[in-house]
Structure 1
Amino acid sequence: MTSSELLVDAFGRIRETVADAVEGLSAEELAFRVDDSANSIAWLVWHLTRIQDDHLADAAGIDQVWSGQGWAERFGLPLAESDTGYGHTSAQVASVSASAEQLTGYHDAVHAQTVAYLAGLDGRALARVVDTSWDPPVTLAVRLVSVVSDSLQHAGQAAFVRGVLSRR
């Protein structure tokens, strides 16, 4: 298995978990929060997808799916187009609402762009520095592993909230 194939598999697992977390839920269920400070499934999936979109587009030097393919307009959120959800307040979390179709559609589009980018990578490309604002500087490999880790955590949180919903 190549490093590219390994990364495609990891991002595919995120996609599967996202689909399972949102499938068949109404917009109201997707907006459910365990308490007033908790994240909703809609916010978790939107945020993890925004981060993947933002970070992979930056690394690849391409447009984000969110702005380049009209997803920002389709969602119509009261947030800046560049917003990824990082550091959101409780009120901002509550402002993120979407249908299961919007969430999976956007995630699938980001996943497709991610897979297309990863397919062209080899081991040498992973050593490229993509962020010099850290010490040590962040390589593409470290950035991709970070996105996978963060996304899997948020996808798992969304699955947990879905489990809470099913027991109400």
Structure 2
Amino acid sequence: MKSADLLADAFGRIHEAVHDVVDGLTAEELAERVDPEANSIVWLIWHLTRIQDDHIADAAGTEQIWTADGWFDRFALGFPAGSTGYGHRARDVAAVRVDPELLTGYHDAVHERTLSFVRTLTGPALDRVVDEAWSPPVTLGVRLVSVISDDLQHIGQAAFVRGVLRRH
């Protein structure tokens, strides 16, 4: 298996899990929280998608789908265009309320861009340093694994919230 195929498979599993979690939920259910300080499903999926969009665009040297394709305007969250959810507080989480179709539409667009990018990668490309602010510097391969790890953690959290909400 080539590195590109492995990465595409990992991102594909995230994509499927996003749709599994959102499927059949209303905007109100997506925004529910298990307590006032907890993250909602909609915030978790928006955040994981924003991080993926941000990091893939940076690695590919392209503009983020969020701004390039008008998702920032369609979501109209009131955050700066560069906001990814990092450092958000409870009131910021509560502000993320959108229809399921908009949420999955943005995720689908980012997923397609991600696949287009990772399918071009070869082993040597993964060794390219993309962030020298860390010691050791972060390579593209490490950055992509980091995005996959972060996305999997957040989609797992969203699935847990869905399970809790469906029990009541």
Specify the TM-score bucket, using the shorter chain as the normaliser: over 0.9
Q: Give the Cα–Cα distance (whole angstroms) in 2 for the partners of residues 24 and 78 of structure 1.
A: 27
Mapping for residues 120-139 of structure 1, pairs under 5 Å: 120-139=120-139
> Match for residue 117 of structure 2?
117
TM-score by length of 2: 0.99
SS at match of 2:122: coil
Q: CA deviation at 1:150?
A: 0.3
Look up the match of 2:100: 100
Q: CA deviation at 1:131?
A: 0.2
Matches within 5 A, 1:1-168: 1-168=1-168
1:99 Cα offset (Å) = 1.1
Aligned residues: 168
CA deviation profile, 1:94-144 (whole Å, cap 9, x unmatched): 111111101110000000000000111100000000000000000000000
Residue 78 of structure 1: CA displacement? 1.2
Unmatched 5+ residue regions in structure 1?
Answer: none
Q: Shift of the alpha carbon at 1:165?
A: 1.2
Q: Identity across aligned pairs (percent)? A: 64
TM-score computed with the length of structure 1 as normaliser = 0.99
2:77 corresponds to which letter in structure 1? L
Q: Distance in 2 between matches of 1:156 and 1:7?
A: 19
Partner Cα separation in structure 2 for residue 16 and residue 153 of structure 1:
14
| TM-aligned CA deviation for residue 44 of structure 1 | 0.1
Runs of 4+ in 1 over 2 A off after TM superposition: none
Q: Which runs of 5+ in 2 are unaligned?
A: none
- Secondary structure at 2:44 match in 1: helix
Q: CA RMSD in A?
A: 0.5
